[in-house]
Chains A and B, each alone.
Chain A
Amino acid sequence: MDAINQSILTLILLVPLVGALVVALVPDHGKLPNWIALLTTLVSFAFALHLPAHFVQGQGGFQFEVNRLWIETPAISYHVGVDALSLWLVVLVGLLAPVGVVASWNAVTERRKVFYSLFLLQQTAMVGVFIALDLMLYYGFWELSLVPMAILIAMYGRKDGPKAALKFFLFTFIPSAPLLVAILWMYSKTHTFDYVTLQVLFTHGAFPASALCWVSLAFLFAFAVKVPIFPLHGWLADTFSEAPVALAMVVAGKLGLYSMMRFHVGLFPVQAREAAPWLIGLAVIGILYGACLALVQRDFWRLMAFAALSHLSLIVLAIYGFTFTGWTGAVYQILSHGVVDAALFLLLGALELRYGTSQIGALGGVAAKLPRLAVFFVIATLAMIGLPMLSGFIGEFLILSSTFVGVSRSWTVAAALGVILGAAYMLWLVQRVFYGTTNKLTGERKAADLGLGEFAILAPLAVLILVMGIAPGYWLDSIQSGVHPPPEKAATVLPTSILIPVEAISTAREGLR
């Protein structure tokens, strides 16, 4: 078992990559690429499920860790591992991969090889971001995740793919410049890229807080664009309305939010606390602004984009509230949002495929024609607006209640207003698309209800949404066992489980002089 635990993360990382190569090499014969991609993603999901099964709760530190020197000078290591924070995120990425394949099954009809090999490459990059514990390795995967995304948006965009792709790429590539410089600066002072070592160095005062101020801002800026946080959300709506469904469901949120918790707050707790009031303010603006804009959108992809802005801002609010409950809620909400969004995107994609439009006004009365699709859509919608007993409720409740108690009542009221608006725009969307009378398009066009493949993937998602709402304890326990905001005052005793090279501290101190 040890051998498996040692290599499981590498396997999860490499399986999609191997799959990508296989897809690229086999002949483009019918749906062969689809099947290979599906198989690959299922295998990688199965591997990902190994993690929660063998994760030791409450142990602290990273598990399934591998740490090998990759490049000697500068010292870059292949250092990967998961803790309670990244554990479920890796599983989520694993889950969304087959969902993405099914979502593209009928939507992508040409150049399947290119699509699926890039899609699988993107999987590798995302898994890499969640498990990398060496800053250079992390940065590598972070950058790598941009390219397949940009190319796929450009090639498979709906109307103006290349333009949206360029916008997406520049928006996310340019902020990574300061991020890389910040990482290099830290390396030149400490001679290490290792996350754990750096964290210990920083929290134990190897650097004065002022020296890390701009470094932490560089980190924050890169992540804030990727989440996105208001006012850096300019790329989101275009990307959502152009990106293939399988990619739109993973492009926003997770990567940025995880990076904030792990690398911004995790490495620079003091600076993060200083920035927190600003971020809370921006988050609340984002919640309300996103919700208001979602109300007036005519295209359902753009509506989903602004809805995402609103929902993701709520999670940002929880992260920078620095409460224990808030952090638990944040992680839970990332998971729930990932699942619910995947279901909604899958359904909207199916809808667009059947009627050839994403204009809300052009649809109507679809429920009478496609009852199964409508049922799933309503379930996902209710989960998204936070109906009790469904997954969205738990996270939202934890976030709002912890903000109310631990941060500020007025901000909570404002954020809760956003939640109400959220119910309004989502239910209004359901009403306009699925109910009412059928019009010319929906009445005459022959459209088949959900197929077997779609049903096979949506039913488990719906069950998962329900289970996550009824029995959240399973996830909450494991999240709570390891995820918590950094304490207000840095601990004075070194944790014994972590060994820091003494010379690293001394070089760091010399570097500062």
Chain B
Amino acid sequence: MNQVPDILRILPEVVLTLTGVVIMLVDATLPASAPRRPMGWVAALGTTLALWCSLQQLALPVGTGFYGTVETSPFTVFFHVLICGIVLVALLLSLDALPEKTHHQGEFYALIVFGAVGMCLLTSAVELLVVFIALEISSIATYILAGFRKETGKGPEAAIKYFLLGSFATGFLLYGIALAFGATGTTQVYELARAIPTATNHPLLVASLALMLVGILFKVSAAPFHVWTPDVYEGAPSVVVVLLSTAPKAAAFALLLRVVYEIFPSLHELWSPVLWGVAVLSMTVGNLAALRQQNVKRMLAYSSIAHAGYLLAAFAGLGSSGIAAASFYTAAYAAMNVGIFAVISLVSGYEDDLPLVSDFRGLLYRAPFLGSLLIFFLVSLVGIPFTGGFFGKFYSFSAAVDGGAIALAIIGLLNSGLAAGYYLRLALTAAQRNPDQKAAPVPQPQLLAVVALLISVAATLVLGIVPNQALHAAQAAAHTLQTPPITPAAPVMMIEMPAEH
């Protein structure tokens, strides 16, 4: 019944892994003085290939492979394409933004690619142990990337903070998985979904859900598990933050969707109010804290916490409308956040020479191209119509209103008014005339960085003006997640598959 070779189910991951391994090997064999930039090209090529492979996976019949551990469906393809896209833009950007003399450049590219492997696998895994492994792969890569500026004080600090807290959170997730196994005797997502409604030991399942939520909400940096975010974003190089603030979060949101909508739909009464509260808390805490920040990266870190809150509002929408809204918002958020951090990494440089809001004064005059892009992405983050940010918020809150959470939508929109305060502060500072001319000149971005920026701009505009296609993809994704592919799937395959070998 399942004729698809298993390898096709994880083809993008395989391509990315091979790319990473090749880079590592070549990096080790090249003399220390050789330029490492071509490896960035290899990484970019590999990522493009992986993106193409993900798109080809749409042609496969929806189903699972490797004994029911990984799945291909429009849902996984949606997130694969998103993650590969983010990684590609980040790679293009680092080809320009990474200084020539950076240490361990080869490893830098390899780590990005390995991180992508983990994130992609995270979205396609339908077996909680594979989920755990995927999460570890992506986390370890990002821990190292966060501390890449070893020579500064803040770099290692960020890495250690991220690592310690992150390991804790992963521990929570693992504990949750263990409890779920204890309650039902399985860790396969669809079997769990079938077993849970009839499971007898309810308290165990509730504890499992709670622990898993803690682990995942940490990864999406939702309040109250958000404290690591500003420190890590501040300490990590901006090029890394481009990746860090979007791709792992997208993957984690995909996991969250799987956990709450696929494994625990029967405990909806429990997780729905919890996510409601977390959403309100995230946006309010994120926005209020961002208002007080003078450091641009910290401000945007808090803003990303607030955006996690807006996204969680979509979970108040029941069924496929909520999933589609959350998926779409993830894409819109990624497009504009990648864009803004890309601009910041080009403006303030690898060493963060211009960390403060006031340092951006007159940017529009000093560097018209970057300045106007900065304002464009800020406008999209505010949620002004005809940008991706607007439609993202619109679908998210529309799902919430649909699910009856009117209060949540009003709190969310008022919050976005509040958020306009600090986004516009930065935009207006950039548009202000600089009284003293002694500010450092901003280097012109090179071709690759311009391409990376234009991809983000195009994505933000497309999602805002002609979002039909992305919406269809999100709805198709929501549909496959809602209805598990083959109802008696997993056990049948467990018997059949060995017979084939």
Binding site for B on A (CB under 8 A): 71-74, 111, 114, 136, 139-141, 143-144, 146-147, 150-151, 154-155, 162, 165-166, 169-170, 173-174, 176-178, 180-181, 184-185, 187-188
Contacts and interface: CB of A to CB of B under 8 A. Distances in A.
Given A173-B420, A174-B414, A154 B431 contact: yes
A178 B413 contact: yes
B424 A185 contact: no
A155 B432 contact: yes
Contacts of A166: 421, 424-425, 428
**Is chain B's interface secondary structure helix, strand, loop, or mixed overall?**
helix
B143 to A, nearest CB: 38
B417 A174 contact: yes
A170 B471 contact: no
A188 B398 contact: yes
A165 B428 contact: yes
Nearest to B464: A140
B379 interface: yes
B64 interface: no
Interface in B407-461: 409-410, 413-414, 416-417, 420-421, 424-425, 427-429, 431-432
Given A71-B471, A73-B475, A188 B409 contact: no
A93 to B, nearest CB: 18
B12 interface: no
A376 B342 CA distance: 53
B398 A184 contact: yes
A154 B379 CA distance: 15
Contacts of A185: 401, 406
Contact of A170 (B417, B428, B431, B467): B417
A180 B431 contact: no
Given A140-B385, A155-B431, A166-B425, A184 B468 contact: no
Nearest to B467: A71
Contact of B385 (A72, A73, A143): A143
A141 B416 CA distance: 18
Given A170-B417, A170-B420, A173-B420, A154 B398 contact: no
B157 interface: no
A132 B428 CA distance: 30
Given A169-B420, A173-B420, A177-B417, A147 B384 contact: yes
A140 B420 CA distance: 16
Contacts of B421: 166, 170
A184 B409 contact: yes
Contact of A144 (B384, B410, B468): B384
A478 B274 CA distance: 57
A23 B416 CA distance: 31
Contacts of B425: 162, 166
A185 B397 CA distance: 10
Given A177-B413, A180-B413, A74 B420 contact: no
A154 B428 contact: yes
Interface string B380-407: 0010111000100011011001100010
Contacts of B406: 181, 185
A136 B398 CA distance: 12
Interface of B: 364-365, 375, 379, 382, 384-386, 390, 394-395, 397-398, 401-402, 406, 409-410, 413-414, 416-417, 420-421, 424-425, 427-429, 431-432, 467-468, 471, 475
Given A71-B467, A154-B431, 17 more contacts: A114-B364, A139-B385, A140-B385, A140-B390, A141-B385, A146-B384, A147-B384, A151-B427, A151-B431, A154-B428, A155-B432, A166-B424, A170-B417, A181-B413, A184-B397, A184-B398, A188-B402
- Residue from A71, A136, A176, A180 with most neighbouring chain B CB atoms (10 Å): A180
A281 to B, nearest CB: 27
A219 to B, nearest CB: 14
Contacts of B475: 73
Contacts of B417: 170, 173-174, 176-177
Given A177-B417, A185-B406, A154 B432 contact: yes
A188 B384 CA distance: 22
Given A73-B475, A174-B414, A181-B413, A165 B424 contact: yes
A111 B471 CA distance: 39
Contacts of B375: 151
Contact of B401 (A140, A144, A169, A184): A184
A177 B432 contact: no
A74 B395 CA distance: 9
Contacts of B420: 169-170, 173
Contacts of A147: 379, 382, 384
Contacts of B429: 162
A174 B421 CA distance: 11
A396 B427 CA distance: 42
Nearest to B420: A173
B398 A162 contact: no
A177 B414 contact: yes
A249 B384 CA distance: 23
Contacts of A154: 428, 431-432
In the A-B complex, the 6 residue pairs with the closest CB atoms: A177-B413, A140-B385, A174-B417, A184-B401, A154-B428, A188-B402
Given A71-B468, A177-B413, A181-B397, A150 B424 contact: yes
A345 to B, nearest CB: 24
B468 A72 contact: yes
Given A150-B424, A187-B398, A144 B386 contact: yes
Contacts of B390: 140, 143
B425 to A, nearest CB: 7
Contacts of B398: 74, 184, 187-188
A111 B372 CA distance: 13
A242 B245 CA distance: 38
Contacts of B468: 71-72
Contact of B410 (A114, A155, A178): A178
B115 to A, nearest CB: 34
Contacts of A176: 413, 417
A162 B385 contact: no
